[in-house]
Amino acid sequence: MNLTQTTALKWTVYALAVLLLCFLKRLLLGSATFWGVLPFLPPVLLAVMAAFEQPKSAVIAGLAFGALCDLVVPAPFPCLYTLAFTIAALLIATVMSNFMQQGFARALFSSVLAFVIVDLFEIAAMLTRGADLSVMLWLFARETLVSCVLLLPSYPLLRAVHRLFAD
Amino acid sequence: MKEFFRQHGLRILAAAAAVAVLLSVLTYFSSTSSVLENIAGVLTSPFRAAATAVSDWAADKRQYYEDVTALKEENAALKKEIAELRAQQRDAQAANDENALFRRLLKLQEKRSDFTFVSARVLAHSESNWTSSLTLSHGTDQDIAVGDCVVSAEGYLVGVVSEVGLNWSTVLTVIDTDTELGARIFRTGEIAVAEGDFSLMNEGRLKLSYLTADDEVLTGDQIVTSGLGGYYPSGLVIGAVESVRTGDDGLARYAVLRPMVDFDALTEIFVIIDHDVVE
């Protein structure tokens, strides 16, 4: 199998793993809220994948995954997730990799960074509508904390996919 | 053999005749069976019993096999019948649900004959913490368009269609920050604007803004759509006033509205695809 085929297969398996996790989240959690917020899975998935991959692959994944999220998840403005996920993937794959060894801690901090960037865009959009900054920051904190719990099932599965195509 | 019969034939015949006569005489004088018959019976009885036992066993086994085969066939037929009955029950349940839905639609239609309704199922609730939305099971296939109002079975306003596809549509609920509706205080007839507010959205509430100092808003007042401008229908119940507050500037007043609908519990809703415009 040549490199192109391996890359295509790897991202297909990543996509299937992401679909499985989204399906399980919907099946097991539904619209359940914890601490008043819905656990939000997409930034966690992106962060874990970007933490494993090279910057170029991570950015392309961020772009594609963001565009997909913009198509299915309502947002305060169009292309919010495309922009936020692309930037988040770039930062995770470049900056985070210089600071931390690959592992769960890096995935955790990457997830927090992804939420910071996504919610920065959300907050910026909401500020134009006169929303209260403190309320938004409080929502950001709760959303990040609750959603990072989703790393527990997501990280091992995506790491297994990464290891499958590591060589 | 010929020689044997030639020499002894008469004797044998005589002996046979004598035995026959003897048997006849014994039978005539015996109250039960003859001695020879008795002897023959006694000797053959165990063999008969054994033959009967074997025959009974074989018959029993054959009967058992026939019974099992028949029971298996009956069991399969019953299983099939149960499956068919269950399918019928499911169909009946679906028909019942549909019937109930159409009854509610009819009631709603009778209540508001100026509206054209389309029913839809709620496929998904909010996916994000920053918006409040619902995904519906119908779109342009049922003539649903962006801007159509969505109501509950009781006729309470749920939200407004924001995006529409062939067989899906997205509704932003009345508490979403993008929602802004012309509103009227039902008791007084005064006009205001009902709009989503981020701080209130997480509490499941919305805001009634642009209240003047003269507006008499009381807790419990029902707020309905004004229908002014003809964009949205009039008279749809948005919610009830929960409290009246003063804005951060200390001048403007606004009311906090509690929607009449529990968005998380919604499964079936109605989209108003056409309505008469109030001049």
Residue A78 near chain B (CB below 8 Å): no
- In this structure, the answer to whether residues B233 and B139 fall within a common structural domain is yes
Write down the pLDDT at residue B227: 85
Residue B27 near chain A (CB below 8 Å): no
- In this structure, the answer to whether residues B142 and B236 fall within a common structural domain is yes
Q: Which of B60, B90, B107 is the last residue of a domain?
A: B60
Cβ-based neighbour number of residue B267 at 10 Å? 9
Yes or no: say if B160 and B151 are a contact pair by the CB < 8 Å rule: no
- In this structure, the answer to whether residues B156 and B268 fall within a common structural domain is yes
Write down the pLDDT at residue B34: 62
Task: Map out the domains of chain A with their CATH numbers.
Answer: 3-164 (1.10.1760.20)
| β-pair partners for B118 | B271
Nearest residue in chain B measured CA to CA from A127: B198
- In this structure, the answer to whether residues B142 and B53 fall within a common structural domain is no
- In this structure, the answer to whether residues B155 and B245 fall within a common structural domain is yes
Chain centre distance of CA A50: 8
pLDDT in tens, A126-150: 998 888 899 999 999 999 999 999 9
Cβ-based neighbour number of residue A1 at 10 Å? 8
Q: Is residue B19 part of a domain?
A: yes
Q: Is residue B260 part of a domain?
A: yes
Closest CA to A17 of A153, A166, A149: A153
First to last CA, chain B: 134
- In this structure, the answer to whether residues B128 and B43 fall within a common structural domain is no
Q: Which of B60, B90, B106 is the last residue of a domain?
A: B60
pLDDT of A124 > 90? The answer is: yes
Q: Rounded to the nearest 10 degrees, what angle do helices A104-127 and A42-52 cross at?
A: 130
- Residues of chain B in contact with residue A72, where contact means CB-CB under 8 angstroms, are 127
pLDDT in tens, B226-249: 988 778 888 899 999 999 888 777
Residue B267 near chain A (CB below 8 Å): no
- Residues of chain B in contact with residue A75, where contact means CB-CB under 8 angstroms, are 128, 130-131
Closest CA to B234 of B190, B183, B192, B172: B183
- In this structure, the answer to whether residues B174 and B247 fall within a common structural domain is yes
Residue B31 near chain A (CB below 8 Å): no
Distance set, CA B195 to CA A17, A130, B218, B254 (Å): 40, 12, 18, 11
- Domain encompassing residue B140: 116-275
Domain count for chain B, please give it: 2
When the pLDDT of each residue in chain B is averaged and rounded to a whole number, the result is 86
Q: What is the mean pLDDT of residues B194-221?
A: 87
Report the gap between the CA of A164 and the closest CA in chain B (Å): 31
- In this structure, the answer to whether residues B51 and B149 fall within a common structural domain is no
Q: Is residue B135 part of a domain?
A: yes
Q: What is the mean pLDDT of residues B129-155?
A: 90
Write down the pLDDT at residue A145: 95
Separation of alpha carbons B222 and B201, rounded Å? 19
pLDDT in tens, A53-84: 888 999 999 999 999 998 888 888 888 999 99
B59 CB-side CA count, 13 A: 6
Q: Is residue B72 part of a domain?
A: no
Write down the pLDDT at residue A63: 93
Write down the pLDDT at residue B31: 65
Q: Is residue B108 part of a domain?
A: no
pTM for this structure? 0.71
Closest to B131 (Cβ–Cβ): which among A76, A132, A135?
A: A76
pLDDT in tens, B20-76: 787 777 767 766 666 666 776 788 788 878 888 888 899 899 899 999 999 999 999
Report the gap between the CA of B87 and the closest CA in chain A (Å): 25
Closest CA to B238 of B176, B183, B198: B183
| β-pair partners for B173 | B159
CB contact under 8 A, B128 and A74: yes
pLDDT of B279 > 60? The answer is: no
Cβ-based neighbour number of residue A133 at 10 Å? 10
- Choose between A44 and B249: higher pLDDT: A44
Separation of alpha carbons A47 and A110, rounded Å? 5
pLDDT in tens, B105-120: 777 777 777 788 888 9
| β-pair partners for B208 | B194, B255
Closest to A76 (Cβ–Cβ): which among B125, B130, B197?
A: B130
Which long-range contacts does B55-60 make (Cβ < 8 Å, 24+ apart)?
none
Residues 106-135 of A with CB under 8 A from B: 122, 126, 129, 131-132, 135
Separation of alpha carbons A58 and B79, rounded Å? 55
- In this structure, the answer to whether residues B138 and B55 fall within a common structural domain is no
CB contact under 8 A, B129 and A73: no
Q: Is residue B175 part of a domain?
A: yes
Write down the pLDDT at residue A140: 94
Q: Is residue B248 part of a domain?
A: yes
Residues 6+ apart with CB under 8 A from B257: B194, B205, B206, B207, B208, B223, B238, B239, B240, B241, B242
- In this structure, the answer to whether residues B47 and B149 fall within a common structural domain is no
**pLDDT class for A161, splitting at 50, 70, 90?**
very high
pLDDT of B202 > 90? The answer is: no
pLDDT of B278 > 60? The answer is: no
- In this structure, the answer to whether residues B46 and B124 fall within a common structural domain is no
Q: Is residue B234 part of a domain?
A: yes
pLDDT of A154 > 60? The answer is: yes
Torsion of CA A71, A76, A81, A82, to 10 degrees: 80
- In this structure, the answer to whether residues B137 and B250 fall within a common structural domain is yes
ipTM, two decimals, is 0.84
Nearest residue in chain B measured CA to CA from A140: B129
